[in-house]
Amino acid sequence: MKRERFLQLSALVWLTAVWILLWGNLSIANVVGGVAVGVLIMVLMPLPGVPVQGRVHVLSLLRLAWKFVYYSLESSLQIAWLAVRPGPPPVTGVLRYQLGIKSDLVLTLFIDVLNLIPGTMVLEIDQVRRIVYVHVLDMGSAKAVGQFYRTVAQLERLFIAAFERDSEWKPSAWHFGDEQYEDPTQKGTT
């Protein structure tokens, strides 16, 4: 119950911060208005429950954030070079990668990060088999393709270390999908 209250309070703080940023100045009226709008949103339009497995490891999360910034800067420089270099445009294509991420929430976060790295765009996700199809801007050499796979593998390892270590990860009842979910309140009623 404490975790649920903490998550609700965190969401309210986030909504209030967004409200203040939208108005552009910090004032008592904007804070009160942000809290009121946040409460209305949370009461009138509640988000569905998200199954959260495992726990967050702060040091691994910081390493993940650092690698994300590094890969973003590296990719930005590579794209800038591809834009100004003489010669034909780069060879683009779609690459497939098999993920070992178990949680749908962590998978979503991973895909978001991958999409934010310049030069990559996730086109399709096979959620059951955990395969992602990614459009890559530069596939002109085996080195470039290898670099893509190394980058994705490194990000995947960091996500697993930060969010779903095998020793702590236990699937929630929702993890297996609706068809396998057994509502504990309905046991023995059918």
pLDDT tens digits for range 68-126: 999 999 999 989 998 898 988 889 999 999 999 988 888 999 999 999 998 899 999 99
Is 113 found in the same domain as 24? Answer: no
The answer to the question of residue 64 being in a domain is yes
pLDDT for residue 55: 74
Count up the domains in the chain and report the number: 2
pLDDT for residue 183: 46
Is 68 found in the same domain as 19? Answer: no
The answer to the question of residue 150 being in a domain is yes
Residue 150 has pLDDT above 90, yes or no: yes
Is 77 found in the same domain as 120? Answer: yes
The answer to the question of residue 83 being in a domain is yes
Does the predicted TM-score (pTM) go above 0.85? no
Is 62 found in the same domain as 33? Answer: no
Please give the full DSSP string across the chain, using - where no structure is assigned: -HHHHHHHHHHHHHHHHHHHHHHTS--HHHHHHHHHHHHHHHHHSPPPP----S---HHHHHHHHHHHHHHHHHHHHHHHHHHHSSSSPPP-EEEEEE-----HHHHHHHHHHHHHSTTEEEEEEETTTTEEEEEES--SSHHHHHHHHHHHHHHHHHHHHHH--TTT----TTTT-GGG---GGGTT--
102 vs 55, higher pLDDT = 102
Is 71 found in the same domain as 23? Answer: no
The answer to the question of residue 176 being in a domain is no
| Backbone φ and ψ of 133, nearest 5° | -110, 120
Is 77 found in the same domain as 10? Answer: no
Is 85 found in the same domain as 16? Answer: no
* Nearest residue to 95 (alpha-carbon basis) of 147, 126, 136: 136
Tell me the residue range of the domain where 39 lies: 2-44
Is 86 found in the same domain as 130? Answer: yes
* Nearest residue to 7 (alpha-carbon basis) of 74, 104, 105: 105
Whole-number percent of the chain with pLDDT over 90:
54
The answer to the question of residue 159 being in a domain is yes
Strands 93-98 and 131-136: antiparallel
Is 111 found in the same domain as 83? Answer: yes
* Nearest residue to 128 (alpha-carbon basis) of 180, 165, 55: 180
Is 37 found in the same domain as 62? Answer: no
The answer to the question of residue 91 being in a domain is yes
Is 65 found in the same domain as 28? Answer: no
The answer to the question of residue 16 being in a domain is yes
The answer to the question of residue 190 being in a domain is no
Is 101 found in the same domain as 37? Answer: no
